[in-house]
Chains A and B, each alone.
Chain A
Amino acid sequence: NAGVTQTPKFQVLKTGQSMTLQCAQDMNHEYMSWYRQDPGMGLRLIHYSVGAGITDQGEVPNGYNVSRSTTEDFPLRLLSAAPSQTSVYFCASSYSGPQPQHFGDGTRLSIL
């Protein structure tokens, strides 16, 4: 039972590049969400999903896209990376509401 799996763990991008952060969970949770954590701060919600085919924006959605074609997967796409998107990204899932209960290990992303 892997829980929530995020890949990659580390990534360096150049400004303007695009990439997809992968997130998969094997707990059959309906709710999944993406957060970013900047130094000295708590998490900020980027996007969330309440089930396959249903997504919505969080507090800081600009520059990011998501989709939820299956219950298991919830990828986060950076459309055109900017230095302001340098952060640690966490994916999370929950069985009882959008609020995160199980987290992935995080992806440390640097944009040069």
Chain B
Amino acid sequence: AQKVTQAQTEISVVEKEDVTLDCVYETRDTTYYLFWYKQPPSGELVFLIRRNSFDEQNEISGRYSWNFQKSTSSFNFTITASQVVDSAVYFCALSGFTSGTYKYIFGTGTRLKVLA
């Protein structure tokens, strides 16, 4: 069965601190995709990144970086020099096809509070 675990329910940091959000996944698929989304207090959902299971290269986009490690089934997200605007709930998600059926599983989210 597919599963996504975001063990950190809530994290508080002071502005300019670095913060890492953890995501651990379970799947038996050999081909799958991993995602991160941001949901700010206003409620909209913002797509941040998609990574396929064959691409373990880390990615950096501005202050955001992602570390994908198949050996530990993890896809962690780091925000460098956090800002108040980063305050949001962040979701990790996993998708794949199992027995011909498309599955898409979200984690329960990590609420990040960045304090000024």
Contacts and interface: CB of A to CB of B under 8 A. Distances in A.
B54 interface: no
Interface residues of B, number: 21
B47 A100 contact: yes
Interface of A: 33, 40-45, 48, 56, 58-59, 88, 90, 92, 96-103, 105-106
Interface in B73-116: 91, 93, 95, 101-109
Given A99-B33, A99-B95, A58 B104 contact: yes
B16 interface: no
The DSSP consensus for interface residues of chain B is strand
Contact of B45 (A40, A44, A59, A103): A103
A30 to B, nearest CB: 14
A43 B102 contact: no
